[in-house]
Amino acid sequence: MAAAIGCDGAVRWSSGFGSADVARGVPATPQTVFHVASLTKTFASIVLLQLVAEGRISLDDPVSDYGIQLPGDVRVRHLLSHTSDPPPGGRFRYDGDRFALLDSVVRRAGGQPFEEAVVERVIFPAGLTRTAPSSLATEGIDTAAIRASLAQGYDAAGRPIAYPGQVGVSAGLLSTVVDLTAYASAIEENRLYPPGGRALAFAPTRSTSGRELPYGLGWFVESRTVGLVSWHFGSWIGNSALLVLAPARGASFALLGNSDRLSTPFPIQDGVLESSPFAQAFVGWLEQGEGCGT
């Protein structure tokens, strides 16, 4: 795995641990490229809210307008906030497959697949040099360098596995921990979300009964003594990820691995950030006053 802490737009600390490729004896470093799994959803949040700002979609559009057939009156915001289960808006349930239906919204409203939109709207504007769709079919990105630095994935028994090749709003991007801290900085500097978009994405969704839920629009969110914390995890058979943003402290924490062990052992998909000991260590570091700015 690899990890990095960003402070006020710069990498304060980074390190690699273990192997990126066991058979070839390649160590993991902060420059190792990993599959980021569901961290892709945060990139999709930016793309979708840009389309909202451009008047191409409304968060209250019925998803049926985009060829998506689901029971009940499901709106775009319900898919984006994981609240599309009947009755829509009634409760939070993390569901990557439901979120993936937003691919159709991006394609129909934006006129291009997410794979192209995310490069034009997020990766290039943020200046990310080692982040790309896993298809590696993108012009303007050094795909040879990304391939050369890509970690081998391993299942729970330590056997090498092939990564899935599909790319969509729910998963499919590659990145490094250094690029993810740059991505966090670009968000904090308001270079990616449209005006008001970041606040909208980071605001906890409220259920139809008024209960505050642990998810905003493409991000998990919670209030801590260090201010609002926005975060997301990623998990698949051969990779796992975590990205935590503490905007009030100008701090971010990125963690990427080539197995599922950073996510699967913990109930993180329920919105319990502190179930991850890695996240707990980072947030504790901030809360004890030992973080950025000290």
Q: Where are the domains of the chain?
A: 2-287
- Over residues 114-133, mean pLDDT: 97
In 121-265, the DSSP E strands lie at: 132-133, 153-154, 160-161, 173-175, 220-224, 227-236, 239-246, 251-257
pTM above threshold 0.85: yes
Mode of pairing for the β-strands spanning 34-35 and 26-27 = unpaired
Distance CA 243, CA 252 (A): 7
Where do we find the tokens 């892709």?
40
Sign, Cα dihedral of 67, 71, 76, 80: negative
Q: Which residues contact 234 (CB under 8 A, 6 or more apart)?
A: 35, 36, 37, 38, 39, 40, 171, 240, 241, 242, 263
Check pLDDT > 90 for residue 165.
Answer: no
The mean pLDDT of 96-108, rounded to a whole number, is: 98
> DSSP states of 181-196 as a string?
HHHHHHHHTTSSSPTT
Report the distance separating Cα 154 and Cα 163, nearest Å: 9
Q: For 179-201, write each residue's pLDDT tens digit.
A: 999 999 999 999 999 999 999 99
Supply the pLDDT for residue 115. 95
Could you tell me if residue 68 is left (phi over 0), alpha (psi between -120 and 50 degrees) or otherwise beta? beta
Question: Residue 275: helix, strand or coil by DSSP?
Answer: helix
What 8-state DSSP symbol labels residue 69?
-
**Architecture in CATH for domain 2-287:** 3-Layer(aba) Sandwich (3.40)
How many angstroms separate the CA atoms of 162 and 127, rounded? 28
Contacts of 144 (CB under 8 A, 6+ apart): none
- Residues 6 or more apart whose CB falls under 8 angstroms from that of 193 comprise 46, 49, 50, 187, 201
3-state DSSP helix/strand/coil percent for the chain, to nearest 5? 30, 20, 45
* DSSP at 215: B
Amino acid symbol at 5: I
Task: Report pLDDT for 61.
Answer: 98
Give the residue-averaged pLDDT of 136-160. Answer: 92
pLDDT of residue 294: 61
Averaged pLDDT, 40-54: 98
Question: What is the per-residue pLDDT across 213-232, written as a single tens digit (0 to 9) for each?
Answer: 999 999 999 999 899 999 99
Please check the confidence at residue 290 and state whether its pLDDT lies above 80.
Answer: no
The confidence score (pLDDT) of residue 291 equals 74
Q: Which amino acid is at 119?
A: V
First-to-last alpha carbon distance for the chain, in angstroms, is: 27
CA distance linking residue 214 with residue 142, whole number of Å: 37
Report the mean per-residue pLDDT for the chain. 95
Asked if 193 and 54 count as a contact pair (C-beta separation under 8 A), the reply is no
pLDDT of residue 239 exceeding 80, the answer is yes
293: confidence class by pLDDT, cuts 50, 70, 90 = low
